[in-house]
Amino acid sequence: MLLDAELSQLVLVDYQPRLMPAIFEGPLVLANAVKLAQMARLLQVPVVGTEQNPSKLGENAPEIRSLCQRTLAKMQFSGVEEGLGEWLRPPVKPVAGNARSLPKHLQKPANTPTERNSIVISGCEAHVCLLQTALHLLEDEFDVWVVTDACSSRTERNRDAAFDRLAGAGAELVTTEMVAFEWLRSAEHAQFKAVQLLIK
């Protein structure tokens, strides 16, 4: 199964400047997260950020925050516990009507947007906030794609343990470039050159 940009959303978890200096390969991880967000914006993929306890850890790095359409402040380690799932899958509005409404076969179909059920997710720390958020998204029946080169923890061992657990739970493990080329699908895509410049 390949990623489809039209069915995807990007979630960036807790790239906060007070946390990043302690993160294993922090500068590379942050750079890849920025690339993901820039590609998502080019390809019209919605981008959501989360921030863990921002009153203590501060907001996300400005280069991340500026690329997010919305940012969820949270105290729970899982963003889903704080309402992220509702942001990613808004509740379905009940069909309006009454007993005198037209029968269903005569009604015009509702213009419902395509559900974006593929959640591309990356962040810090991989074994805490990213892991718990991704596991909850899987429980909520989203397809979860973890971008491994844009995730990390304070130690390599914790990061790798998170990847093992996520893969076992059904998440797909991918890289920034895998996401880029699956979202594009073709060198003929209108944004191919722009995305290629980001990943070179």
Query: What digits encode the pLDDT tens for the residues 42-83?
Result: 999 999 999 999 999 999 999 999 999 999 999 999 999 999
Count structural domains, the chain. 1
The whole-angstrom separation of Cα 116 and Cα 179 is 15
Q: For 1-49, what is each residue's pLDDT tens digit?
A: 899 999 999 999 999 999 999 999 999 999 999 999 999 999 999 999 9
108 located within any domain: no
For 128, the domain range is 5-87+117-199
Q: Are 133 and 50 in contact (CB under 8 A)?
A: yes
Q: Is the pLDDT of residue 102 over 70?
A: no
Q: 33-42, 106-115, 116-125 — which is least confidently predicted?
A: 106-115
Nearest to 169 by CA among 190, 139, 124, 198: 139
Q: Are 7 and 1 in contact (CB under 8 A)?
A: no
107 located within any domain: no
The whole-angstrom separation of Cα 198 and Cα 191 is 11
Helix (H) or strand (E) holding 169: helix 156-169
185 located within any domain: yes
Query: Could you tell me how many residues make up the chain?
Result: 200
Non-local (6+) Cβ contacts of 59 within 8 A are 16, 51, 65, 71
103 located within any domain: no
CATH code: domain of residue 186: 3.40.50.850
Q: What is the mean pLDDT of residues 100-109?
A: 56
132 located within any domain: yes
End-to-end C-alpha distance for the chain, whole angstroms: 25
Confidence at residue 111, expressed as pLDDT on a 0 to 100 scale: 45
68 located within any domain: yes
20 located within any domain: yes
Q: Is the pLDDT of residue 163 over 50?
A: yes
CB neighbours (10 Å) of residue 91? 6
Place of tokens 């993929």: 45
106 located within any domain: no
Helix (H) or strand (E) holding 1: none
Q: What is the pTM of this model?
A: 0.89
Q: What is the mean pLDDT of residues 123-129?
A: 98
The whole-angstrom separation of Cα 188 and Cα 41 is 18
